[in-house]
Amino acid sequence: MSNPYELIIIGAGNLGLWTAYHLAKNNFGRIAVLERQWAGSGTTTRSAGIVRQQGGSVTAIKLGQWSREQYISLGDELGLDSGFVQVGYYVLAETVEEQAAFQELVMLRRACGLENEWVDATEGRKHFPALNWDLFRGATYTASDGYVNPAIVARNITFAVSRSPHINLVEQCAVTQIDSTANGFRAHTSRGVYQSERVLNAGGARGSRAIGAMLDMNVPVSAARHTVVTFPTTGQLVSGQFPMCFMLARGMYWRPEEQGILLGFSNPAEQVDHTERYQLDFDRAYLDTMRPLFEHAFPTLRGQEISRGWSASIDFTPDHLPILDEPQKGLYVLAAGGHGMMWGPGLGMKMAELIQHGEVSELPPSEIALNRFSGARQVKDAIALPFPTT
């Protein structure tokens, strides 16, 4: 059966759902969101939920700011908890080189309207004595950073999309073929045929490349393993909420989680994962390698048992920045570069802008265009996990 729509969105993760939401709010027209599993599956609900505005580029900073605001505003709109918790975030510098680079980024962030400061180790001890500041030269800090509960924000955006009369959200709907037609595109799926003037590829870590290939387009989105563990209590040195911390060079961060602590990390030696799985082998060996380090840096974790843990695929692009583009007429590509939870609402807002108005405001084209990967790369987000380089 063929269904005429103004837009087909492939992928009902954070990016696809937020794009549909913004378009529907602007009375765009009929939208079909096709998801091969269920809304919010894949990387969305396996995320650690970090919402950091302290990016390493203009695009990263602005997307973090917009996304934080939109998580909060959607909760208000629905009359539900937003899932966002503001605790502040220290991005920690271990070396002189990191300190110099981070201090330069403070100026860039302030130019983007973000309140961000450099805190030296002496000052840091006064504000957060539970951290072993002897290991660090200091940190950049933004008080309005925080985290979201992935299950809550996935619930909220799915609810918002589902109640819109302009959106048809179709789960268990795998796209198997896409044909170009005289008037747009025809998507063949496990639940029938869908027809539209436009198609948005928001397939994420496990779908972007395959959907691109159906349209003879190379979309450089890959997947790698990322590991998250939680601890049931905050230990002896911390009580209640506490600021998040990111050891950038180590690819490791932690934040509050219920009555305990969540810690996430990426192994710098990790390779591209070519399986189609979201659930991956738990990285016990690297966890054991990192335990002495995180116990030394954050002593309240010393000797704590793990309450739960998982390794899952995370998407990334070669420069850790998003793809937000219309490389062919009526064909759109949206990818988060490893930051789908952190940037999803902002990316959805800007993709909706591109679809409706034909341009993207406020974000440099050199940081979002698909064709930037065909030449020498000029920009790379400086604050990102250590993803593979190929």
Query: Does the structure show a pLDDT above 70 at 199?
Result: yes
Is the same domain home to 249 and 141? yes
The per-residue pLDDT for range 18-68, each reduced to its tens digit, is 999 999 999 999 999 999 999 999 899 999 999 999 999 999 999 999 999
- pLDDT above 70 covers a percentage of the chain that reads 98
Per-residue model confidence as pLDDT tens digits over 315-326: 999 999 999 999
| Claim to verify: residue 30 and residue 155 sit in the same structural domain | yes
Give me the mean pLDDT over the 135-149 stretch: 98
Give a yes or no: residue 91 inside a domain: yes
Residue 65 falls within a domain, yes or no?
no
| The predicted structure's pLDDT at residue 3 | 52
The whole-chain average pLDDT of the chain stands at: 95
Do residues 44 and 18 make contact, with C-beta atoms less than 8 angstroms apart?
no
Give the range of the structural domain holding residue 132, as residue numbers without chain letter: 86-145+222-316
Question: Residue 238: what pLDDT?
Answer: 93
Percent of all residues in the chain with a pLDDT value above 90, rounded to a whole number: 90
Residues 157 and 295 in one domain: no
H helix runs in 79-207, sequence order: 96-111, 121-127, 150-162
If you search the block for the tokens 């991956």, which residue do you land on? 280
Tens of pLDDT, residue by residue over 84-131, are 999 999 999 999 999 999 999 999 999 999 999 999 999 999 999 999
Q: Are residues 310 and 194 in the same domain?
A: no
- Tell how many helices (H) and how many strands (E) occur in the chain: 8, 22
Using CA atoms, how far apart are residues 343 and 204, in angstroms rounded to an integer? 13
Q: Which of 273, 295, 316 is the last residue of a domain?
A: 316
228 with 346, same domain?
Answer: no
Same domain (yes/no): 252, 216 = no
Asked whether residue 343 is assigned to any structural domain, the reply reads yes
228 and 310 in a single domain? The answer is yes
CATH code where residue 131 lies: 3.30.9.10
The domain total for the chain is 2
Query: 158-173 burial by CB neighbour count: b if 16+ within 10 A, else e?
Result: bebbeeeebbbbbeeb
Answer whether residue 95 is part of any domain.
yes
Say yes or no: 275 and 303 in one domain. Answer: yes
Q: Are residues 109 and 166 in the same domain?
A: no
Decide if pLDDT at 228 tops 80. Answer: yes
pLDDT at residue 1, rounded to an integer: 45
Residue pair 344/63 in contact (Cβ under 8 Å)? The answer is: no
pLDDT score for 329:
95
Residue 248, domain member (yes or no): yes
| One-character DSSP codes across 276-325 | S-SEE---HHHHHHHHHHHHHHSGGGTTPPPSEEEEEEEEE-TTS--EEE
Same domain, 162 and 302: no
Same domain, 180 and 94: no
In angstroms, the CA 150 to CA 46 distance is: 8
pLDDT class of 375 with cuts at 50, 70, 90 = confident
